Structure 1
């Protein structure tokens, strides 16, 4: 939680991808960019059911994902 936490309830989500079974980040999720000019927000990072199934499908090519959510 940054500042006083979420004030408006607006959520912005992005996928963060990793190669080599999660060892090497591919791309970058900039949480400050997702928050924009908001001073109060929450960052939540997780692997949800969608990520789990994507990871099962892409595990053959060694990619993994997680979801990053910023709530303003």
Structure 2
């Protein structure tokens, strides 16, 4: 087994990623929020996410762009 696949290496990568994410939040470079919504609305969002592809943050950015285009 390669060193990168050992339990120790996986835990180390996880720890490093958690520290990075906490630092980005603390420095104000990213924001995190949670959304609670009715199941049909959440299902619709998941369907749109599947169509757009990518991560949730990318889908939210795309939806914001579409909204702004329709406001102009």
- Note whether the superposition's TM-score is higher than 0.5: no
Higher strand share: 1
Higher helix proportion? 2
Larger radius of gyration: 2
Larger RCO: 1 or 2 (CA < 8 Å, sep 6+): 1
TM-score, length basis structure 1: 0.22
